[in-house]
Structure 1
Amino acid sequence: MGVTRDFFIAMSKNQLLNSGAKKWGLKLGASKMVAGTDIDSMMKSVKELNSMKISATIDNLGEFVYSREEATAAKEDIINTIEAIQEHGVDAHMSIKLTQIGLDIDYDFSLENIREIAAAAEKYDIFINLDMEDYAHLQQTLDILTALRKDYPNVGTVIQAYLYRSEKDLERLDDVRLRLVKGAYKEIPDVSLQSKQDIDENFLKLIKIRLLGKAFTSIATHDHNIINEVKKFVEENNIPHDRFEFQMLYGFRTEMQKELAAEGYAFTTYVPYGKDWYAYFMRRLAERPQNINLALRSMVSK
């Protein structure tokens, strides 16, 4: 399992394969996990989710951005997606990776870009989530979040349970809307928990801290054991359902997504789209062996 995970994470960082993937389109099974390559196809998926009382957080996919031209184009694509959310009247918000809009090029440049995006979103009261990337980008992401929130309260971020520092970050961000996740990158033992049991235990600990706090929390997991623990904790502590939501990825455990929404829990699906789907797809394959089977079935059925 560890070897398989490392293999697909390494593949996700291969720029040559990423370039080739843009030519393939959503073949290799990615169509099960990515909601199309353009706004129109993505919006059809979002409207279908909304019809089941499921909200969406939309990710206009893009990585390996090392030029200002690419970053500026990505910023414009994201703003166009925000405009489309408003025009189509869908229940959705945006998830954004700062490296896509220039963080690896220049900190101030990326801050300018995300400010433009946040301003566009605030105009329509649309929430913006800064996706958390690998550990090397963590502090810069939190610094940008702090700078942004001085002018734009409609911005939050992600806390990854496998990092040792996450509980302290949680305390510092106790008034910020957050998404809690286990973590999807490979990090060294110096900065992160390594065993599934330790990560699961810390994930539940962080969730409970947040649920007893005051800010809205998104609990992003496909783990039914974690979900059941959360449901029990919420009931025992009389926590209102409008204080939190469950989140899952597009294309995963779709029946459970529908069931949780039907049970009256706030639910949001993470909806990725765009031509730059390759790295995202590889990380999903790295996370669980079952995802490889899902992709293979998709390829055979075409």
Structure 2
Amino acid sequence: MLRDLFIGLSENQLLNRAARNYGLQLGAQQVVAGTNITEMMDSVKELNQAGIACTIDNLGEFVYDKSEAIRAKEQILAVVKAIHEQQADAHISLKPSQLGLDIDYEFCREQIKEIAEKASRDDIFVNLDMENYPRLEPTFRLVNELSEEGYTNIGTVIQAYFHRALKDTRAYRDMRMRLVKGAYKESPAVAYQKKQEIDENFIRIIEWHLLHGKFTSIATHDDRIIDHVKRFAAEHDIERDQFEFQMLYGFRKDLQLALAKEGYRFCTYVPFGEDWYGYFMRRLAERPQNMNLMVKQVFNKKTNTVIGLAAGAFLLGRLSKRGK
């Protein structure tokens, strides 16, 4: 119920626009690294100084206009330039939908190709994030076509809650891969619904990719998963330069630093921009424990009031639909 609530909130365009108008006044600055490139790069440099790499996400939701998609591309190109000029230990994460996937496939492909080309010249990796199930095949198609054109600086994401996750992990064994549990509401026909099943599949694809794949990024805040990976890597003599742990900016800072100090490669997912609301809600949906972290690290009374009102609006909307 709680997960459905936050996914529903993340997809509410009205609330997304309202949250954007507030900027980061509600406390989201604790988990979003500013609204512009300068603020974000300051955060990246601070993390780099602590021995932590970064993957940078220019936030954006509900892009259905080509001009907006082009602006997003230009912003990402500016991030690539900033990484190169400042010699930051960072790479790019991008969402195909922000670059026009829901508008026109070929248009989106050319947009991403331009980013991949610029990033390739600057020796910067580009990760194509996975979104919901309807965008799964088009995103894999983008990855395949760019790879066929010779771009070796691209990778993508496997979401453990999909039944097909292990098959896809095997298919992309030669590609740098981020492995995650998944953060969207999906049908039981295509995705596991129970936490235990998702966790078991997550461990399954992590182990397979560590043993057979290229570089593996393991994105989790789950202590049990992290401890399992440590033991598995040690037992199978997997070198630490073959994988990294990833966590979200602003979450479990002490653990991020501790893992880096232990000698594990670590990468923080650094989102920035004014369009932070959908990202924020999906992080709450993705793992209920994130709510506790939010309460401790982010929410002030004003934030709680706004989230409460948003939740109430969503539930009232659901109830009104049922009454029709």
Q: Measure the CA separation in 1 of the matches of 2:273 and 2:251.
A: 18
Other-structure match for 1:173: 172
After TM superposition, give the deviation of residue 287 of structure 1 in Å: 2.6
Please list every run of 5 or more consecutive structure 1 residues that lacks an aligned counterpart in the other structure: none
For the residues of structure 1 that align with 2:280 and 2:23, how far apart are their CA atoms? 12
Aligned residue in 1 for 2:107: 109
Change over 3 Å in CA distance of 1:29–1:288 after alignment to 2: farther
Q: Give the match's secondary structure for 1:28.
A: coil
One-letter amino acid matched to 1:85: I
Query: Displacement, 1:288?
Result: 3.4
Matched, 1:300 2:313: no
Q: How does 1:12-23 map to 2 (within 5 A)?
A: 12-23=10-21
2:159 and 2:180 in contact (8 A); partners too: yes
Structure-2 separation of matches of 1:208 and 1:97: 26
For residue 212 of structure 1, give the secondary structure of its aligned residue in structure 2: helix
Unpaired segments ≥5 residues, structure 2: 303-324
Taking the aligned partners of 2:299 and 2:8, their CA distance within structure 1 comes to 22
Q: CA deviation at 1:17?
A: 1.4
Q: Residues 29 and 294 of structure 1 are in contact (CA less than 8 Å); yes or no, is this contact kept in structure 2?
A: no
Distance 1:203 1:295 in 2: 24
Match of 1:39 among 30, 37, 40: 37
Assess, with a 3 A threshold, how the Cα gap between structure 1 residues 4 and 240 changes in structure 2: closer, same or farther.
same
Contact 2:182/2:286 (<8 A) preserved:
no
1:52 counterpart residue number: 50
* Aligned match for 1:65, one of 63, 66, 80: 63
CA distance in 1, matches of 2:169, 2:299: 41
Structure 2 Cα separation of the partners of residues 224 and 73 of structure 1: 39
CA deviation profile, 1:55-91 (whole Å, cap 9, x unmatched): 0000000110000000000000000010011111110
Deviation of 1:28 (Å) = 2.4
Match of 2:322 in 1: none
**For 1:268-279, what aligned pairs fall within 5 Å after superposition?**
268-279=267-278
Q: Is the 8 A contact 1:29 1:295 kept in 2?
A: no
| Separation in structure 2 between the aligned mates of residue 108 and residue 185 of structure 1, nearest angstrom | 25
Q: How big is the shift at 1:27?
A: 2.5
1:138-178 CA deviation, whole Å, 9 max, x = no partner? 00000000001122110000000110011111111110110
Output aligned runs, 1:1-302, within 5 Å: 3-150=1-148, 151-297=150-296, 298-300=298-300
The whole-number CA distance in structure 1 between the counterparts of 2:34 and 2:288 is 23
Aligned-pair identity (%): 57
Distance 1:294 1:237, change over 3 A: closer
What is the rounded CA distance, in whole Å, between the counterparts of 1:177 and 1:300 in structure 2?
39
C-alpha distance in structure 1 between counterparts of 2:293 and 2:235, whole Å: 36
How far has the Cα of 1:295 moved from its partner?
Answer: 3.8
Once the two structures are TM-superposed, the CA of residue 301 in structure 1 deviates from its matched residue by 8.0
- Give yes or no for contact 1:30–1:295 (8 Å, CA) kept in 2: no
Name the amino acid aligned to 1:19: R
CA contact (8 A) 2:175 2:213 kept: no
Offset at 1:214?
Answer: 3.9
- SS at structure 2 position matched to 1:286: helix
Q: Output the aligned Cα RMSD.
A: 1.3
Q: CA deviation at 1:290?
A: 4.1
Deviation at 1:293, TM superposition (A): 4.3
**1:18-64 deviation per Cα after TM superposition (whole angstroms, max 9, x unaligned):** 11222100132211111110011111111111011000000000110
Residue 96 of structure 1, CA deviation: 0.3
With the length of structure 1 as denominator, give the TM-score of the two structures.
0.96
Separation of aligned partners in 2, 1:87 and 1:100? 25
Deviation at 1:275, TM superposition (A): 0.9
AA at the equivalent of 1:34: V
Q: Distance in 2 between matches of 1:59 and 1:223?
A: 22
Describe the SS at the equivalent of 2:55. Answer: strand
Note if contact 2:160-2:182 (Cα within 8 Å) is conserved in structure 1.
yes
Q: 1-side partners of 2:143 and 2:31: how far apart?
A: 28
SS of corresponding position for 1:99: helix
Letter in 2 for 1:73: R
Q: Does the residue aligned with 2:175 lie in a helix, a strand or coil?
A: coil
Give the secondary structure class of the aligned counterpart of 2:270.
Answer: strand
Letter in 1 for 2:287: R
Alpha-carbon shift at residue 291 of structure 1 (Å): 3.2
